[in-house]
Amino acid sequence: MHISLFNGTNGAIPLSHRALAYGDGLFETLLADRRGPHWLAAHLDRLYAGTCRLGMAWSMAQNLALKEQLEALCADLDGPHLIKVMLLRNNPAHGYDFDPLLQQTDVLLQCSPYQRPDWTEQGARVGLSGSHVSRNSTLAGMKHLNRLDSVLARQSARRQGVDEVLMTTDNGTIIEGSLANVFFYRQGRWSTPAVDQAGVAGVMREQLLQRFAQIAVSGTEVDNIDQIESAFLSNSLMGLVPVRCLMGRTLAIHADIQTFNSELSNQW
């Protein structure tokens, strides 16, 4: 099933829309099937928190109405689908500025069949991105529409012929992959990078941190990448994906990864 709706109707984006001009908005990508969107409450919580941080005109009531719309949409799904929700700030003719009282929020909803990439079954081959992740504590954690850093990182993955690349800040701190959060095992401990300076606070990442106290939030510098013994990726569409090869080096696939995965699969 393919759906594409702009404020509930078929349509297109006006040329002057500030979401196009500045990336002024947020998005969520959800895995969904006939039973409903997976981790829906967590996605909508993050979306709502993002609208607060960006000062968008979006109420709890609107968030709830969106929840009901997404649930209703799933009743007709045949097999796994990707649902993408975008909230776009609309306030014409202000340049970067917007009027907080006159702004509106447009809702773009897209739905299409989803198939996990083949490499998620075998485990990911992971390299190091030649381009950096953007660092800005004002924006960090949000899934906003300013994603050029991920776009360029995907090209780095393409050129290297790997499935995913790790993105670092300008000063060499590993933050995430181009399309997933990342978890490392070394010296007997699991950790995932903080996302308060850069990166996206992934919904699966949050679920893992809530459920498994043995996963610490702590940084890994790119200089210490050789110490990593095992690793996995997480995102809402792919779930958890073991890393089988990191910068040309074969990694062990730690038994915990299967444990984490089973636990999460049972819970949404």
Q: Which residues bind a copy of itself (CB under 8 A)?
A: 4, 6, 11-24, 27, 54-55, 86, 88, 95-98, 100, 108, 110, 131-139, 144-155, 157-158, 169-170, 178-179, 197
Residue 136's CB: how many other CB atoms inside 10 A? Answer: 9
Asked whether the beta carbons of 235 and 180 are under 8 A apart, the reply is yes
Min dist. Cβ of residue 179 to a copy of itself (A):
6
Nearer to a copy of itself, 230 or 236 (CB): 236
CB-wise, 19 or 215, nearer to a copy of itself? 19
Separation CA 165–CA 125 (nearest Å):
9
- What's the closest the beta carbon of residue 193 comes to a copy of itself, in angstroms? 16
Smallest distance from a copy of itself to CB 235, Å: 11
In angstroms, the CA 247 to CA 253 distance is 15
Q: Which is nearer to a copy of itself, 96 or 118 (CB)?
A: 96
Minimum CB separation of residue 208 from a copy of itself in Å reads 22
Token pair in block for residue 11: 């349509």
CA distances to 151, 225, 227, 228 from 168, rounded to whole Å, are 14, 12, 17, 16
Q: Residue 190 corresponds to which amino acid?
A: W
Centre a 10 Å sphere on the Cβ of residue 250 and count the other Cβ atoms it contains: 11
Do residues 146 and 139 make contact, with C-beta atoms less than 8 angstroms apart? yes
CB of 225 to a copy of itself, least distance (A): 19
> Position of tokens 């070394």?
186
Looking at the Cβ atoms of 21 and 65, the one nearer to a copy of itself is 21
Q: What does each C-alpha distance from 30 to 35, 72, 161 come to in angstroms?
A: 13, 14, 27
Q: CA 77, CA 69: separation in Å to the nearest integer?
A: 14
CB nearer a copy of itself, residue 18 or residue 43: 18
Closer residue to a copy of itself in complex, CB, 139/222: 139
Contacts of 239 (CB under 8 A, 6+ apart): 120, 204, 261, 264, 265
Q: Residue 193 or 251: which CB sits closer to a copy of itself?
A: 193
Minimum distance from residue 196 beta carbon to a copy of itself (Å): 10
In the complex, least distance from residue 134 CB atom to a copy of itself, rounded to whole angstroms: 4
In Å, the largest CA–CA distance within the chain is 55
Integer-rounded Cα radius of gyration of the chain: 19
